[in-house]
Amino acid sequence: MSSVPDRSEVDEEYTWDLESIYTTDEDWEAAYEAVAERVDELSSYEGEATDDAETLRAVLELRDEVMRDVSTVAAYARMRRDEDTTNQHYQALTARAQSLAADAQSAASFIEPELQELTHEEFEAMVETESDLETYDHYVDDVLRMKPHTRSAEVEALLADLGEVTGATGEVYTMLSNADMEFPVVEDPAGESTQITQSNVVNLLKRPDREFRQRVYEAYFDEWESVRNTVAASYKNSVKADVKLAQARDYETAREAALDGPNVPVSVYDTLVETVHDNVEKLHHHAELKREALEVDELRMWDLYMPLTGDGGPDVEYDQATEYVVDALEPLGEAYQSRVAEGLDSRWVDVYENEGKQSGAYSGGTYDTQPFILMNYQDDISSMYTLAHELGHSMHSELTKDEQPYIYSGYEIFVAEVASTVNEALLTQHLLETVDDPEFRTHVLNEFAERVRSTLYRQTLFAEFEHEAHRLEEAGEPLTADRLDDLYRGLKADYYEPAVIDDRIAREWMRIPHFYRAFYVYQYATGLSAALAIVDRILEDGETAADDYLEFLQQGSREYPLELLRIAGVDMSTSEPIERALTTYGDRLDEMEALLE
């Protein structure tokens, strides 16, 4: 029986170097206590923040110092927990760090309401007497922009205190899906038993034996059925929290509230959905090609992850993947390329799955640490692309930290997914240019098509689902498990018209953790569209376009997302980048169809 190893069995070189943050948990405790004391210091400025320019500078700088330290304390605890989500000690540290973060947010909650008592002219006068305040010009502009949706200092403190509570449904879901749920063991055609996990289920659904895929599919979703009402209650309350918080801030809808934070017009969301719907026949073409490649009368839901090549594809071990990825980044310049290579050698990445490890992948770290990437690498082309993707996030953070102060070191998800997908697109281009093996090339083309299918189409489907779920809640309609299933089933039928839609796929919404971060997923689709446009520029114009892109990465959150993307030569207020991405997808499908014939 194949099994997932215990963490102690994984070689250190394939684990991330969390000791570079705190050598021991005792060091973490000391850092925790130190920053907890400074949280109280921050509170002492309440009511005085804008008394004069010197005080304003002091309070903003103190707030940044506290938040920097809190973020590092929280990141360490979370990543230790993610190494083994069943570890009670690190669950406790994570809970304490989350409480500390909530306390810090509460302590700082007076700052923005007090800033909003200023006018732009009054702030500019303060800058004249305290030049260091100029650093905060865009931040203050953003704060003043949000004045209609900011409550009194007392209410802001209450909302900050409630952060732990309103986010609790996501924590419940994480524990349920990663620590408590145990998926069945299935037997493959060779008689080997394999336990289904959150991390390997997609790979199992790529296996060539159709009956095996069906067994995996049914066993996996039947396990979700066993917790159906729990997950529905969790998601319902997550949606309800989104709606109530939006109402508390005087927004008409939760979607408007979510998009107003990064200053992205709702029209961008609608343009994405409309443009994808106008091109849904390309996805239908992809589904029909899968049916033909599999030589079946009906395409079923357990067939959707099967590549057009008809098998699981060539193995790509991790060390080989790192070589491909680093080489692919050459168009971005030697400095970018070398920094990625050095990071891979410095244990940025926690590579392999182990017992209890958080599923999926992400890029973490803080302003004061190296990047950290969680993966569950599966020795395949898809995992190689995920590595490239997460390295894009990490390098975005690194280049931003090089050029921006802490206040602008973060960046909105709307632009974050551009950096990750640029790396993916460059990897595709590199592999098609340098790898001669026809089978490998065919799988690269298939990977590109699958990435567009799963990112541009699937994430837009998800975006429609959560928009409608929030709309139903706002209309006072009950979000029951049956209603959520029906909603998801209808969307799946629209997007995958040539395939058979069964009752189990209606439960797929239950396995999507991103739904607990409302109106997040659409940015994967807009990000892919922007990234393909940027890569087109880089390949056409070379160093000039690459420099524009690197400047974009260095800006962090120094401008609003749409303005940042214009630095890189892309206008996401229009449908043009989305249409370009969909045209490229259609062309690649035609190319694949010719190869398969």
Radius of gyration of the chain (CA): 24
Q: What is the CATH number of domain 227-346+380-597?
A: 1.10.1370.20
CB 372 within 8 A of CB 364: yes
Tell me if residue 477 is catalytic. Answer: no
Nearest to 69 by CA among 30, 31, 126: 31
Active-site option among 83, 156, 353, 390: 390
Q: Which two tokens stand for residue 277?
A: 């719907």
Q: What is the CATH number of domain 7-166?
A: 1.20.140.70
- Quote the CA–CA distance of 393 and 300 in Å, as a whole number: 35
Burial class (CB in 10 A: 0-12, 13-18, 19+), 512: middle
CA distances from 279 to 283, 446, 487 (A): 8, 19, 21
What residues does each domain of the chain span?
7-166, 227-346+380-597
pLDDT values of the chain reduced to their tens digit, one per residue, 597 residues:
457 899 999 999 999 999 999 999 999 999 999 999 999 899 999 999 999 999 999 999 999 999 999 999 999 999 999 999 999 999 999 999 999 999 999 999 999 989 999 999 999 999 999 999 999 999 999 999 999 998 887 887 788 778 778 888 998 998 999 888 999 999 989 999 999 998 889 989 989 999 999 999 999 999 999 999 999 999 999 999 999 999 999 999 999 999 999 999 999 999 999 999 999 999 999 999 999 999 999 999 999 999 888 766 789 999 999 999 999 999 999 999 999 999 999 999 999 999 999 988 999 999 999 999 999 999 989 899 999 999 999 999 999 999 999 999 998 889 988 999 999 999 999 999 999 888 888 889 988 998 899 999 999 999 999 999 999 999 999 999 999 999 999 999 999 999 999 999 999 999 999 999 999 999 999 999 999 999 999 999 999 999 999 999 999 999 999 999 999 999 999 999 999 899 889 988 988 888 777
Give me the phi and psi of 4, to 5 degrees please: -85, 130
DSSP string for 246-278 = HHHTT-S-HHHHHHHTTT--HHHHHHHHHHHHH
CB 412 within 8 A of CB 561: yes
CB 497 within 8 A of CB 284: yes
